[in-house]
Amino acid sequence: MRTRERFLLGLFRAVYVALFLLLVTPLLIVVITSFTEARYLTFPPEALTLQWYGEFLQDSSWIAAVFNSLIVGVGTMVISTVLGVSAALGVRDRDSRLTNGLMLVSVLPLFIPPVIIGVALLSLLSQYGLHQSYVGVIIAHTLWATPLVFFIMQAVFSRFNWNLRDAALDLGAGPYRTFFEIVLPEIREGLIAAGVIAFIVSLQEFIMAMFLTGVDTRTIPVLAYTAIRQVLDPVVSVVSTVLVFSVLVLVIVAALLLGTERLARQL
């Protein structure tokens, strides 16, 4: 029996390592190619240099794309967090057909192909002149991020002691004061985690942004796609590396500020 358990444990570890390498290897290749000295993507690089990072920092179009992605990401994070938290509060302790139906509807954007959402929003927003604005991209990304925030906050609220909120209301505190002084401190970790996830979703989304951005509002993924079609130079790998490490930094900062144990307990 012990031999069988050891075999299964070894097999599980081998599969785990293989899957980990399968996920990490493409990222490592992208990072390495960003340091190549050649003027085109090569792997393995013959020599290493930082010149392409300098090219990235001196290119105004890439810097503008970074700021565009930040604007869209922050807007998506704020709106989806507000909507997701409000929806999770609204359906709490309500077990009705209407509530269950609304919960199913809230998931639909995740199952609709982004190209369909992009085309639909392009047709709608073009009537109001918003098809190449930040507003259009934020709306599209919010459709994807809000359901994720909603379900995360549902899990967070399921662990909250609602007797504390009821006690505050019984003692005369208003609903807004009760939320900000009683509920919010207890759900802070989960709220920040949901916001970070919403920001990451917006940061890496490409298909809907391709339909809804213009020359002045292109995000990093859209500009990277355009650059790949024109010239396959290492700057694209630099941008991909910046995106990967940006996500890692966000996750690490959230873990350090909140604590991994408290964050895991909330989620």
Provide the CATH number for the domain around residue 221: 1.10.3720.10
Flag whether 17 is in a domain: no
Residues 89-103: what's their mean pLDDT?
A: 67
Flag whether 23 is in a domain: no
Alpha helix positions (H), 112-219: 114-125, 134-158, 162-170, 175-178, 184-204, 207-212
Total structural domains in the chain? 1
List, for residues 116-167, the tens digit of each pLDDT value. Answer: 888 888 888 888 877 788 888 899 899 888 888 888 888 888 787 778 877 8
pLDDT of residue 256: 67
Flag whether 32 is in a domain: no
pLDDT of residue 80: 92
Concatenating the DSSP letter of every residue in 41-106 gives --SS-SSB-SHHHHHHHH-HHHHHHHHHHHHHHHHHHHHHHHHHHHHHHHHTT--SHHHHHHHHHH
The alpha carbon of residue 258 and the mean position of all alpha carbons in its chain are separated, in whole angstroms, by 18
Task: Please give the residue range of the domain that contains residue 260.
Answer: 60-266
Question: Which residue shows structure tokens 């069988």?
Answer: 4
- The Cα 211–Cα 136 span in angstroms is 10
Residue 260 has pLDDT above 60, yes or no: no
Q: What are the φ/ψ torsions at residue 48 (nearest 5 degrees)?
A: -110, 145
Residue 184 has pLDDT above 90, yes or no: no
| Chain mean pLDDT for the chain | 79
Q: How many residues are given for the chain?
A: 267
Residue 147: is it exposed, middle or buried by C-beta count within 10 angstroms (0-12/13-18/19+)? Answer: buried
pLDDT of residue 127: 83
Flag whether 38 is in a domain: no
Q: What are the φ/ψ torsions at residue 236 (nearest 5 degrees)?
A: -65, -40
pLDDT of residue 75: 92
Residue 221 has pLDDT above 80, yes or no: yes
Flag whether 111 is in a domain: yes
Residue 41 has pLDDT above 60, yes or no: yes
This prediction's pTM: 0.79
Flag whether 160 is in a domain: yes
The confidence band for 79, taking pLDDT boundaries of 50, 70 and 90, is very high
Closest Cα to residue 236, out of 67, 25, 73, 31? 31
Flag whether 28 is in a domain: no
Flag whether 48 is in a domain: no
